[in-house]
Amino acid sequence: MVMSLLYRSTRSADVKVTASQAILKGLAADGGLYVPESIPALDVSLEELAGMDYREVAYEVMKLFITDFTEEELKNCINKAYDSKFDTDEIAPLVNADGAYFLELFHGATIAFKDMALSILPHLLTTSARKNNIKNDIVILTATSGDTGKAALAGFADVKGTKIIVFYPKHGVSPIQEKQMVTQKGDNTYVVGIEGNFDDAQTGVKTMFGDSELAKELDANGFQFSSANSINIGRLVPQVVYYVYAYTRLLANNEIKNGDRINVVVPTGNFGNILAAYYAKNMGLPIAKLICASNENKVLFDFFKTGTYDRNREFVLTSSPSMDILISSNLERLIYRIAGDDANTNKELMDSLKKDGRYTITDDMRAKLEDFYGNYASEAETAEAIKSIYYNTGYVIDTHTAVAASVYKKYVAETSDETKTVIASTASPFKFTRSVMDAIDKAKYDKMTDFELVDELSRIANVAVPQAIEDIRTAPVLHDRVCDKTEMKAVVKDILGIK
């Protein structure tokens, strides 16, 4: 029998809610993020998990975090999520290439790792709403740096009792990412480009979540907000699964022995994906180093190097736009933990971030970050990683995965650590075709159109064009609304018909 696990806010010691309430709310009323009171230990052996498929592993991990769902409810959510939407039965295959294991997290409907969690979140949310007798329609309000938006739109499209509004930086996503979003079908889907960057979009969304007057207006009109961003614990928990799954595949394939430690490399901007690996380690998964890979927006690298988080810097638009982030929301969950689960200390640091754009952690807190290694890859290094892995192995990776591969090379050069390593491969190269093909041979591919490049990539990588790309070749634009970053609240009220 799994013990009941409650969730706390990172900013207030007296807030306690069930898993379903945390999923429904997304963000705590005090602006904090929900975290489990303790991280549960795996209660099934790694050998047993090695004999299970993805859905079965997902149940064994998620049941420990979402304890107010019945077995039937949770399995129903899992089975609806991890089905034929994924183009491989494995859901998240491991590919051995160039001295590491690439965990391909992009086989879902929108060919990015966000599908791993956003395929299940709508089912977790609607189940949570029923459990808590919610009568309002749930309005999913989301900011995206490119991938979350489409994955959330695909997950929530035409889900009864929900609407979804996605804000994205109009000039800060790849052409394919934008096309995927603005062609999204579904009577309950809304996509809005903002004149600003991702951090502006995310700040606008967080401000609306904290607006008590707006909440009253919504309620009077039969609505309430929830989030599909990685601040929602219903996003984070499904991400823990694939690290456990990756380890158990290595075990099943006799690549490691039970108990052998592995390293994990994660390209990350918002910190949620690597935080999931940290949670997996704390559940008892034998992970040695958590290698945090940043692009030229290296706010996380600087944090691990100095103990100071400082977003007061130039915002760089890179070829890995999903990581073009200076406010790493999920880092707050780690800060809370290394502060000894002290909500007051965490709140002081977050208040400092809001007021001054920076904070510095104590030496005691820094000592608890020994599991982490941080580094970054420049644009040139990212391109070089794509090119060298392709010419050495024939394997083609996207720009975000290339950031991770480049940082991994730096880590090995610095440490000579030969531990077997899993690299989180977070997007299909087809999602960032122009940047990928430029890296391989810019002169050769410069004159091709985006979709000519898609076909050429398919040919040289010997991989079929994903359905997600085929679907948008001729799809009409259905969403063309653009607003200033200051107008986001007015746009939401207009969409919902609130005067």
Active site positions, annotated: 114
- Only one residue has tokens 């890995």, namely 320
Query: ∠ CA 167-168-172 to the nearest 5 degrees?
Result: 165
Structure tokens given for 362 = 């104590």
Residues with Cβ within 8 Å of residue 244, at least 6 apart in sequence: 42, 49, 57, 61, 280, 283, 285
Cα distance between residue 268 and residue 322, in whole Å: 8
Q: Give me the sign of the Cα torsion angle 427, 430, 435, 438.
A: positive
Burial environment of residue 352 by CB neighbours within 10 A (0 to 12, 13 to 18, 19 or more): middle
Nearest to 120 by CA among 178, 173, 66, 192: 66
Cα distance between residue 417 and residue 413, in whole Å: 8
Distances in Å between the Cα of 255 and the Cα atoms of 88, 157, 306, 326, 338 are: 21, 40, 36, 37, 33
Task: Return the half-sphere exposure (C-beta side, CA atoms, 13 A cut-off) of residue 436.
Answer: 29
The answer to whether 161 and 137 are in contact (CB under 8 A) is yes
Cα distance between residue 166 and residue 434, in whole Å: 24
